């Protein structure tokens, strides 16, 4: 899968989004052509709040709803677009390089990207991941134990981890 990292989504003119049901609950995905640019679980968030987040990332884009976008749980996208800061890009790149079912702690992830003292900033970047599930932010666990927080809800994180067989 090809990952494109950008500081801004200002250059994107059109976004097509759709929502569908999955084993983990309802999901909304957003695409720029054949490039996946956003994934959100809707169990604990309204569609309007998720659309607002997409508009913040892609302020000049026209958003259109369609039932004709690929299901990311069946067809993995060939390309994704990640909008964020250089630090976020480091974190998300490291997450994208995790092996299947590999879990990692926030402190290990911070060390892996060369910022061992930036555990809190690393955790914040993990939580800001705009391509949930594909960039496996759900596989980051606290060193203190348990499954930790998840932007889209701890119950969804637990379902995904169990489905993948990623739990220790």
Bridge partners of residue 14, in order along the sequence: 62
Can you tell me whether residue 46 is helix, strand or coil?
coil
Tell me the two tokens of residue 113: 């990207």
User: Is 6 annotated as catalytic?
Assistant: no
What tokens appear for 147 in the block? 């499954």
Among 16, 40, 119, 137, the one annotated catalytic: 137
CA angle 9, 10, 16 (to 5 degrees): 60
- State whether residue 126 is helix, strand or coil: helix
* Catalytic residue set: 137
């Amino acid at each position: 899968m090809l990952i494109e990292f950008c500081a801004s989504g200002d250059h994107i003119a059109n976004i097509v989004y759709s929502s569908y049901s999955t084993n983990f609950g309802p999901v909304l995905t957003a695409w720029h052509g054949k490039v996946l640019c956003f994934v959100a679980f809707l169990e604990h968030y309204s569609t309007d709040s998720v659309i607002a987040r997409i508009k913040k990332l892609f302020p000049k884009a026209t958003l259109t709803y369609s039932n004709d976008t690929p299901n990311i749980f069946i067809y993995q996208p060939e390309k994704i677009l990640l909008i964020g800061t250089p630090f976020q890009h480091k974190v998300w790149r490291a997450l994208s390089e995790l092996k299947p079912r590999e879990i990692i702690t926030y402190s290990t992830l911070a060390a892996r990207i060369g910022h061992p003292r930036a555990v809190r900033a690393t955790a914040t970047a993990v939580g800001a991941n705009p391509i949930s599930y594909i960039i496996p932010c759900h596989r980051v666990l606290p060193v203190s134990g348990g499954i930790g927080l998840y932007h889209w809800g701890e119950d969804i994180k637990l379902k995904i981890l169990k489905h993948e067989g990623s739990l220790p």
